[in-house]
Structure 1
Amino acid sequence: MRIYIVEDDISVIHILEDIVESGDLGEICGDCGGEPADVHEVLRARPDVVLVDFFMPVMDGVEFVRELRSFNATIKCIMISQVSAKELISKAYTAGVDFFISKPINLIEVTSVLKNVAKQIQNERTLDNIRHMFMNEIGQKPQNSRESSSYSKKLRYILNRIGMSGEKGCSDILKICDYLHRERIPVSQMSVAQLCEAVSDSPKNMEQRVRRAIAAGMANVAHMGIEDFMNETFTAYSSTLFSFEEIRTEMDYIRGKRTDGGKVSIKKFIDGLMLEADREI
């Protein structure tokens, strides 16, 4: 069980880490280091459980949980708080908090709550496995699997149209899109380096493959425009997956009018690709 701690008091973070590690209650996959909470940083750590303080600077615990839930509804959220007012506790539960831990931190309470959460997660996974087995037995795929497969097919269809399906970086692009789509994270919220780190153990190599693949796609689209400016694929994707100015630059480069081609924007391409996939029927 992977646990992330969102707490502005470093001493509390250390206490919780000691309890988790000494009690073999899970793996600490990260903490905010006493800094304001960052939802996307937490999501990149892929925790099963988030321990979050009620009173946090910039964004309080309830707001944090609500935003976290908007991206990933399966993460278990445990609120750390001295609050006893019923209306505030009710507000926290409404936002998506699963359990409460009282301050000051108590070893027995933390251990008990985390063990209960671990059992809950295990039960949910067991039920999910049974559901998958049942659906496979009757020859159907679960709804989320069908949706994921359908979305992936739309992405592949577009990449194939611009001649990128054979590029090594094509599978990397699909991984990035799948991650953003699954976690419901806008591409604008992450840098290219962060995107690659989220889905690869070798992010720099992945970024190079993706950049080369997109450059190949740009060259293919530019060739289409040179041959037929009204080409259906050219008109559909020259300004959605790429900057049209960069496509024109690439076309001039192919014609021998320039010494360098168009520049690739990975985030522009990913954003455009995902938008186009959403429009595909």
Structure 2
Amino acid sequence: MEIQCLNPDIVLVDLFIPGIDGLSLVKNAKSMHPEMQFIMVSQVSAKNMIEKAYKNGVEFYIQKPINAVEIETVIKKVSESLETNRTLNQIQKLFNKDTNILDGNSLKSGNEIQTIKNIMLRIGIIGEAGSKDLIDITVFLREKNENMGNYTLNQLCKRFADSPKSMEQRIRRTISIGMTNIANIGIEDYMNDVFVEYSTGLFNFEQVKKEMDYIRKKSSDRGKVTIKKFIDGLISYCEK
């Protein structure tokens, strides 16, 4: 296999390859090179297939049609993740820790982070400054088996940032961009899977409609985001 000879850090692979099953390719390659990262592209949007791809070791699953900016953003994120993991592994080795064994909580958190990243990619906010903040808060709440009803946003931000206000602003800005992206998708195709799924799963649908009217210049009022609903929505998708 050419992948074994080249041993690349990141591999871009299609779900359907002539003569080869993309999922089997990823699974076999990961068994020999667990550090290798795979980005899968496909026209298939079935949830069970996407879930299967992540279980087989795919880092990101991107649905066609794709564009250069989207691919560049994802590759950059995967590269950053690789560098972070390598640094952590080096630190762990200094303390003679076994880096090949993950406990159940670590595996659970890893899978949930992938779920959140995939959602963020689909609504176009994976590269925004507040995306990492949202991941941190969502994973924290999942580990505590809690939701936004147990905390204020300010309380949560104080756990992760020296400047909670700045973190709140990043989060609100990122979610607002997500709503605008969803609204634009709805304007182009009201039955689009991403619009149908997340216009109610992460946002208040009435507010999404207001944003759509604002974009169409039918109204001067923009839709408003509810941070609590958005984060609780992410938690709900992680539970699924």
The structure 2 residue matched to 1:202, chosen from 163, 180, 183, is 163
Q: Which residue of 2 aligns with 1:82?
A: none
Q: Which residue of 2 aligns with 1:85?
A: none
Aligned residues: 148
Q: Does 1:271 align with 2:232?
A: yes
**Deviation (angstroms), 1:142:** 2.9
Q: Which residue of 2 aligns with 1:253?
A: 214
Q: Which residue of 2 aligns with 1:223?
A: 184
**Deviation (angstroms), 1:198:** 2.2
| Rg larger in structure | 1
d(CA) in 2 for partners of 1:186 and 1:231?
A: 29
* 8 Å CA contact 2:211, 2:222 repeated in 1: yes
* 8 Å CA contact 1:158, 1:277 repeated in 2: no
d(CA) in 2 for partners of 1:195 and 1:140?
A: 30
The structure 1 residue matched to 2:151, chosen from 162, 176, 190, is 190
The share of aligned pairs that are identical, in percent, is 43
**Deviation (angstroms), 1:195:** 1.6
TM-score of the aligned structures, taking structure 2 as reference length = 0.58
Structure 1: give runs of 5+ residues left out of the alignment: 1-128
* 8 Å CA contact 1:164, 1:216 repeated in 2: yes
2:116 partner amino acid: L
**Deviation (angstroms), 1:169:** 0.5
* 8 Å CA contact 2:209, 2:223 repeated in 1: yes
Helix, strand or coil at the partner of 1:201: coil
RMSD of Structure 2 on Structure 1 (CA): 1.8
Q: How does 1:86-235 map to 2 (within 5 A)?
A: 135-136=98-99, 139-235=100-196
1:237 partner amino acid: Y
Which 4+ residue blocks in structure 1 deviate beyond 3 angstroms? 132-135
Q: Which residue of 2 aligns with 1:236?
A: 197
Q: Which residue of 1 aligns with 2:5?
A: none
1:241 partner amino acid: L
Q: For each residue in 1:202-235, what CA deviation from the matched residue of structure 2 results, as whole angstroms up to 9, or x when unmatched?
A: 1000000000000000000000100000000000
Helix, strand or coil at the partner of 1:164: coil
d(CA) in 2 for partners of 1:278 and 1:142?
A: 19
**Deviation (angstroms), 1:186:** 2.1
TM-score of the aligned structures, taking structure 1 as reference length = 0.50
Structure 2: give runs of 5+ residues left out of the alignment: 1-91
**Deviation (angstroms), 1:141:** 2.7
2:157 partner amino acid: C
**Deviation (angstroms), 1:134:** 5.9
**Deviation (angstroms), 1:196:** 1.1
1:270 partner amino acid: I
Q: For each residue in 1:179-202, what CA deviation from the matched residue of structure 2 results, as whole angstroms up to 9, or x when unmatched?
A: 111222221111111121122211
Helix, strand or coil at the partner of 1:173: helix
* 8 Å CA contact 1:135, 1:142 repeated in 2: no
2:125 partner amino acid: M
1:196 partner amino acid: C
d(CA) in 1 for partners of 2:188 and 2:218?
A: 16
